[in-house]
């Protein structure tokens, strides 16, 4: 297994929007916000299997995500916003009121 740097983009997903009515403490919501989607070729390159855990690090913190392959550009990762992504954010909002959540350079370490 090896590590590689990727660009992480966090955003709200439509499924996440539907689950918010059930509550952020539900198992389904927690599973959704703890799963990252990557290109299958990127997963293979660093030795990640479908469903395997990986540690994602930024300069501000780290969080563990379950990996799934999906239709994502090479070199990029998608994760729905949630408590794990908050561990990766810095505090600077650059005047917007929301910390930067797109285009983070992250390190991915298979677990």
pLDDT at position 101? 63
Question: Taking the C-alpha atoms of 82, 83, 85 and 88 in order, what is their torsion angle to the nearest 10 degrees?
Answer: 160
Ranges of residues in the chain whose predicted pLDDT is under 50:
none
pLDDT at position 38? 97
CATH label of the domain that carries residue 19? 2.40.40.20
The parent domain of residue 51 ranges over: 4-110
pLDDT at position 26? 80
Alpha-carbon gap, residue 74 to 81, rounded angstroms: 21
DSSP letter assigned to residue 21: T
Number of separate domains in the chain: 1
pTM, whole model, 2 decimals? 0.82
Query: Strand 62-69 and strand 53-57: pairing?
Result: antiparallel
């Amino acid at each position: 297994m090896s590590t590689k740097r990727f660009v992480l983009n966090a955003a709200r997903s439509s499924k996440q929007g539907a689950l918010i009515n059930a509550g952020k403490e539900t198992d389904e919501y927690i599973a959704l916000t703890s799963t990252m989607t990557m290109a299958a070729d990127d997963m293979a390159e660093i030795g990640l299997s479908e469903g395997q855990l990986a540690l994602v690090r930024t300069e501000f913190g780290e969080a563990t995500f379950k990996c799934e392959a999906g239709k994502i550009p090479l070199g990029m990762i998608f994760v729905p916003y949630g408590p794990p992504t908050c561990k990766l954010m810095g505090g600077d909002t650059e005047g917007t009121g929301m910390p930067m959540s797109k285009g983070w350079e992250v390190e991915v370490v298979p677990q």
